[in-house]
Amino acid sequence: MTIIFDLDGTLLNTIDDLGYACNVALEQTGYPTHRIADYPRMVGNGINNLIRRAMPESERTEENILRVRAHFVPYYNEHNCDYTRPYEGIPELLATLKAQGHQLAVASNKYQAATEKIVEHFFPGIFDVITISFPLSTIN
């Protein structure tokens, strides 16, 4: 049997690293930052949507979002495992499922390079497939 897991908020608590990366990108592009505690209400459906929600409403153009993203991605690539941690019991659960012969997969709406890096950092050799998915709400 193949079992597919979501990554952020399911296997890993990634909110702090996402928040710090977003704040760095916002600051570098001249936008106000947020408390890390405010980021849980901003995440969901990918990085562009996180950035969109974190920006001032009057500035939420596609061009501005991409400009902030250009700062977000390099910072996040370097710092996406600083504060991220597996939820309690997840490593043991995955090891048990793997030992029982299940194929394990991760489907994340995080970009592929970050997904692969984070999964291999926290769960080396556990997952058979690592892929990105796009929620229907983000496909035009």
Angle at 47 between CA 46 and CA 48, to 5 degrees: 95
Residues 6+ apart with CB under 8 A from 136: none
The dihedral of CA 23, 55, 133, 104: what is its sign? positive
Question: How big is the chain, counted in residues?
Answer: 140
Q: Is residue 6 flagged as an active site residue?
A: yes
Q: Which two tokens stand for residue 129?
A: 């497939």
Calpha distance 4→127 (Å, rounded):
9
The catalytic position among 6, 38, 82, 128 is 6
Residues 6+ apart with CB under 8 A from 4: 105, 106, 107
Calpha distance 24→137 (Å, rounded):
27
Residues catalogued as catalytic: 6
